[in-house]
Amino acid sequence: MSAISANAAGAIGGAGGTNRFNELSSEDFMKIIFTELQQQDPFEPNDSSALLEQLNSIRAIESDIDLTKNLQSIVFQNQLATAGNLIGKTVEGLTTTNERVVGNVFAVLREGDNVTLQLDTGWEIPADNVTVIVDPASLPQQQPAG
């Protein structure tokens, strides 16, 4: 393993499996490159452009992973906020055991990566399984019989 490969592997894996790749400054990166160039065999020089491509690929992959995590977090927070807007509304949907139930939403639960609605009828419906939403405030008011 070349010096740069060892240093890059240490920066990525780090002790205890933590990711320290983002902590690598431009100065550290240049030190790694110069160390690699100083220690290479002059009769079999390393291809530094391939090395730079590999490091850029690793940075791009790291960036994509971070972006994906951030997007998943945003989507989940949006789902939670949307479910919160259902409090006080009447919903119909399927339970996790595929029973069709109806009730007024009085609480929203976060269970891991899932959002569940608690109904006043004692049932719980995963937010993804809601099929009908009714806002009781928008129902027409009945006129008293006179």
| pLDDT tens for each residue of 70-128 | 998 898 899 889 899 999 999 999 999 999 999 999 999 988 888 999 999 999 999 99
Separation CA 15–CA 112 (nearest Å): 28
**Are the CB atoms for 64 and 56 separated by under 8 Å?**
no
**Are the CB atoms for 25 and 7 separated by under 8 Å?**
no
> DSSP 3-state assignment of 120?
coil
User: Between β-strands 100-111 and 114-119, what pairing exists: parallel, antiparallel or unpaired?
Assistant: antiparallel
Whether the pTM exceeds 0.75: the reply is no
Q: Count of residues for the chain?
A: 146
- What is the fold of 85-138? SH3 type barrels. (2.30.30)
Separation CA 66–CA 26 (nearest Å): 20
pLDDT at 131 over 90: yes
**Contacts for 52 with CB less than 8 Å, ≥ 6 apart:** none
- 10 alpha carbon, distance to own chain's centre: 26
pLDDT at 41 over 60: yes
pLDDT value for 16: 46
- Express each pLDDT in 77-93 by its tens digit: 998 898 999 999 999 99
Q: What residue spans in the chain does CATH classification 2.30.30 cover?
A: 85-138
pLDDT value for 1: 44
Q: Which of 16-25, 52-61, 62-71 has the lowest mean pLDDT?
A: 16-25
